[in-house]
Structure 1
Amino acid sequence: MADFLLELLSEEIPARMQVKASADLARMFEARLGDAGLRAESLETFATPRRLALIARGLPAETETVREERRGPRADAPDAAIAGFLRSTGLSREQLEEREDKKGGRTLFATIERPGRSTASVIAEAVPAIIRDFPWPKSMRWGGDSLSAESLRWVRPLQGIVALLGEEIVPFDVAGVRSGAATVGHRFHHPGAITIGSANDYVEKLRACHVVLDPAERRRIIADGAAAAASAAGLVLVEDDGLLAENAGLTEWPVPLLGGFDPAFLDVPREVIQLTMRTNQKYFACVDADGALAPSFVCVANVEASDGGAAIVDGNRKVLAARLADARFFWEQDLKVPLEQRTEKLSGIVFHERLGTLGEKVERVARLAQWMVQERIVRGADPAHVEAAARLAKADLGTELVGEFPELQGLIGSYYARAQGQPDSVVEAIRDHYRPAGQGDAVPTSPVTVAVNLADRLDTLVGFFSIGERPSGSRDPFALRRAALGFLQILIRSGLRVPLGDMLVQTAVLLIVSRMGALSSVSFPDLLDSDDHEHEITAEVGSFTYRHGDHVVVRWNSALTPNIERGKLIEEATDLSEAVLEFLADRLKVQQREAGVRHDLIDAVFSLGGEDDLVRVLARVKALQAFVETAEGTDLLAGYKRATNILKKEDWDEDGIPWHQPSFDLAAEEAELIQALDAQEPRAKMALEDEEFERAMAALARLRAPVDAFFDKVTVNDPDAVKRRARLNLLARMRTLVDQVADFSKIEG
Structure 2
Amino acid sequence: MTKNYLLEIGLEEMPAHVVTPSIKQLVQKVTKFLKEQGLTFKNIKPFSTPRRLALLVEGLSEQQDDVDLVQKGPAQKIAQDQEGNWSKAAIGFANSQQMTVDDIYFEDLKGTSYAYIHVQKKGKTAQEILPELAGVIKSLTFKTRMRWASNDFEYIRPIHWLVSLLDDVVVPFSVVDVQAGRQTKGHRFLGDPVVLARADDYEEALKNEFVIADAADRKAIITSQIKELAAANSWQVNLDQSLLEEVTNLVEYPTSFAGSFDAQYLAIPEEVLITSMKDNQRYFDVRDQDGKLSNHFIAVRNGNRDHLDNVIMGNEKVLVARLDDAKFFYEEDQKFPISHYVDRLNNVSFHDKIGSMAEKMQRVQKIGQIIAQQFALSEQSMVDFNRASEIYKFDLVTGMVGEFAELQGIMGQHYAKLAGERDAVSLAIKEHYQPITAESKLPSSKVGALLALSDKLDTIITFFSAGMIPTSSNDPYALRRYAYGIVRILLKQKWALDFQTALPELIAGLDGLTPAPLPKSGAETAQIASFIRDRVKQYLQVADYRYDVIDAVLASIQQDPLKINQAAQVLEQHHDDQQFKPVVEALTRINNILKKVKPAGNKVVDDTLFENDSEVELANATAVLMEQTDFEQLYEEFVDVRPIIESYFNDNMIMADDDAVRMNRLTQLSILNRLSHQLGDLSQLVIK
Shorter-chain TM range is 0.7 to 0.9
How far residue 401 of structure 1 moved from its aligned partner, in angstroms, is 1.5
What is the distance in 1 between the residues matched to 2:366 and 2:21?
A: 47
Deviation readout 1:615-636 (Å, 9 max, x if unpaired): 4454454445545553333322
Counterpart secondary structure, 2:627: helix
Note the alpha carbon deviations across 1:423-481, whole angstroms, 9 max, x for none.
22221121211122224433325343334323212211110111222233242211112
What is the 5 A alignment of 1:36-55? 36-55=37-56
Partners of 2:411 and 2:203 in 1: how far apart? 47
1:132 aligns with 2:138: yes
1:243 deviates by 0.6
Residues 229, 683 of structure 1: CA spacing in aligned structure 2 closer, same or farther, 3 A cutoff?
same
Which residue is equivalent to 1:572? Answer: 520
Aligned twin of 1:357: 356
Per the alignment, do residues 24 and 724 of structure 1 end up closer, same or farther by CA in structure 2, a change over 3 Å counting? same
Does structure 1 conserve the Cα–Cα contact (< 8 Å) formed by 2:151 and 2:176?
Answer: no
Aligned-residue offset at 1:283: 0.5
1:46–1:214 Cα contact (<8 Å) kept: yes
Partner of 2:285: 285
User: Counterpart of 2:447?
Assistant: 448
Moved more, 266-275 or 354-363: 354-363
Q: What secondary structure sits across from 2:205 in the alignment?
A: helix
Residues 464-473 or 701-710, more deviating: 701-710
> Secondary structure of the residue that 2:218 maps to in structure 1?
helix
Whole-Å Cα distance in 1 between the matches of residues 127 and 338 of structure 2?
69
Q: Which secondary structure does the structure 2 equivalent of 1:397 belong to?
A: helix
Q: Does 1:736 align with 2:684?
A: no
Q: Which residue pairs with 1:638 in the alignment?
A: 585
Cα distance, 1:655–1:740 mapped onto 2, change above 3 Å = farther
- 8 A Cα contact 2:618 2:644, kept in partner: no
Could you say which residue in structure 2 is the equivalent of 1:434?
433
User: 2-side partners of 1:200 and 1:360: how far apart?
Assistant: 65
Say which one has the larger Rg. 1
SS for the counterpart of 1:422 is coil
Distance 1:644 1:208, change over 3 A: same
Look up the match of 2:300.
300
**What's the TM-score, normalizing by structure 1?**
0.80
Q: Once the 2 structures are TM-superposed, how far is the Cα of residue 286 of structure 1 from its aligned partner?
A: 0.9
Specify the alignment match of 1:147 in structure 2: 150
Give distance in 1, aligned partners of 2:227 and 2:415: 33
| Identity between Structure 1 and Structure 2 (%) | 29
Alignment of 1:512-591 (within 5 A): 512-515=511-514, 572=520, 575-591=523-539
| Inter-partner Cα distance in structure 1 for 2:104 and 2:552 | 64
Range 337-346 or range 236-245, more displaced: 337-346
Distance 1:66 1:707, change over 3 A: same
CA distance in 1, matches of 2:509, 2:683: 40
Aligned to 1:468: 467
| Shift in CA distance, 730/634, structure 1 to aligned 2, threshold 3 Å | farther
- Residue 228 of structure 1 is matched in structure 2 by 228
**1:700-721: CA deviations, max 9, x gaps?**
222233445667xx48679x96
Q: 1:186-205 maps to which residues of 2 (within 5 A)?
A: 186-189=187-190, 191-205=191-205
Q: Which residue of 2 aligns with 1:527?
A: none
Q: Deviations over 1:584-616 (max 9, x none)?
A: 22222321332244454455455453x555444
Conserved in 1, the CA contact under 8 Å of 2:276 and 2:322?
Answer: yes
Say yes or no: does 1:697 pair with 2:635.
Answer: yes
Please, which runs of 5 or more residues in structure 2 have no aligned partner?
none
Cα distance in 2, alignment partners of residues 58 and 488 from structure 1: 50
Q: 1:727 to 1:702 in 2, by over 3 A?
A: farther
Q: Would the aligned equivalents of 2:496 and 2:561 in 1 still touch at CA under 8 Å?
A: yes
Alpha carbons 1:508, 1:573 under 8 Å: kept: no
In 2, Cα distance between equivalents of 1:465 and 1:139: 33
Shift of 1:412: 0.8
Q: Which moved more, 1:3-12 or 1:698-707?
A: 698-707
SS in structure 1 at match of 2:39: coil
Deviation at 1:223, TM superposition (A): 1.7
Contact 2:374 2:496 in 1 (8 A): no
Instruction: Encode CA deviations 1:333-380: one digit per residue, 9 max, x unaligned.
Output: 222222211122222222112112212212222333345567876433
Listed one character per residue, the Cα deviations across residues 258-295 of structure 1 (whole Å, up to 9, x for unaligned) are 11111111111111111111122110001112221111
Following TM superposition, by how much is the alpha carbon of 1:502 offset from its aligned partner in structure 2, in angstroms?
5.8
| One-letter amino acid of the structure 2 residue matched with residue 704 of structure 1 | R
Task: Flag the 1:116–1:347 CA change in 2: closer, same or farther, 3 A.
Answer: same
Give the equivalent residue in structure 2 for 1:402: 401
CA contact (8 A) 2:165 2:171 kept: yes
* d(CA) in 2 for partners of 1:118, 1:655: 77
SS in 1 for 2:58: strand
Separation in structure 2 between the aligned mates of residue 92 and residue 222 of structure 1, nearest angstrom: 60
Distance 1:103 1:382, change over 3 A: closer
Q: Which residue of 2 aligns with 1:369?
A: 368
Task: Specify the SS of the correspondent of 1:147.
Answer: coil
- Measured after TM superposition, the shift of residue 183 of structure 1 is 1.8
Alignment of 1:250-265 (within 5 A): 250-265=250-265
CA–CA distance in structure 2, aligned partners of residues 272 and 289 of structure 1: 21
- 1:549 — aligned with what? none
Q: Is the 8 A contact 1:334 1:399 kept in 2?
A: yes
Q: Flag the 1:659–1:590 CA change in 2: closer, same or farther, 3 A.
A: farther
Q: Deviations over 1:7-38 (max 9, x none)?
A: 12222122111112112222332344444433
**Counterpart secondary structure, 1:515:** coil
- The answer for the alignment partner of 1:411 in structure 2 is 410
Instruction: Tell me what 1:122 maps to.
Output: 129
Query: Please, what TM-score do these two structures have when normalized by structure 2?
Result: 0.87
Tell me, in whole angstroms, the C-alpha distance in 2 between the residues paired with 1:188 and 1:513. 64
Displacement of 1:488: 2.5
Q: Residue 133 and residue 383 in structure 1: after superposition, are their counterparts in 2 closer, same or farther (change >3 A)? A: closer
Alignment correspondent of 2:186: 185
d(CA) in 1 for partners of 2:595 and 2:370? 48
Kept in 2, the 8 Å contact 1:74–1:105? The answer is no
Over 3 Å counting, the alpha-carbon distance change for 1:502 and 1:646 in structure 2 is: closer
1:646-666 deviation digits (Å, cap 9, x = unpaired): 6667x47579373557787x6
Q: Which residue of 1 aligns with 2:30?
A: 29
Change in 2 beyond 3 A, CA 1:348/1:741: same
Q: Shift in Å at residue 642 of structure 1?
A: 3.8
Report the count of equivalent residues.
Answer: 674
Q: Indicate the residue corresponding to 2:541 in structure 1.
A: 593
Q: Is the 8 A contact 1:252 1:302 kept in 2?
A: yes
Contact 2:107 2:116 in 1 (8 A): no
The code of the aligned residue for 1:123 comes to L
Find the partner of 1:99 among 82, 106, 114.
106
Q: In 1, distance between residues paired with 2:479 and 2:240?
A: 28
- Matched to 1:329, the amino acid is F
After TM superposition, the structure 1 = structure 2 runs for residues 242-253 of structure 1, keeping only pairs within 5 Å, are 242-253=242-253
What are the superposed Cα offsets for residues 162-213 of structure 1, whole Å, 9 maximum, x if unpaired?
A: 2111221112333343322222323344x22323232323223323333222
Q: Secondary structure at the match of 2:469?
A: coil
**Residue range with higher mean Cα deviation, 483-492 or 625-634:** 625-634
Does structure 1 conserve the Cα–Cα contact (< 8 Å) formed by 2:438 and 2:485? no
- In the TM superposition, what whole-angstrom CA distance separates every residue of 1:649-706 from its partner, at most 9, and x where no partner exists? 7x47579373557787x6xxxx4x445424322211222xxx2443333332222334
Equivalent position amino acid for 2:467 in 1: G
Cα distance in 2 for residues equivalent to 1:323 and 1:18: 28
Any stretches of 5+ residues in structure 1 without a counterpart?
518-567
Provide the residue aligned with 2:64 in structure 1: 63
Matches within 5 A, 1:313-324: 313-324=312-323
Asked if 2 retains the 8 angstrom alpha-carbon contact of 1:655 and 1:733, the reply is no
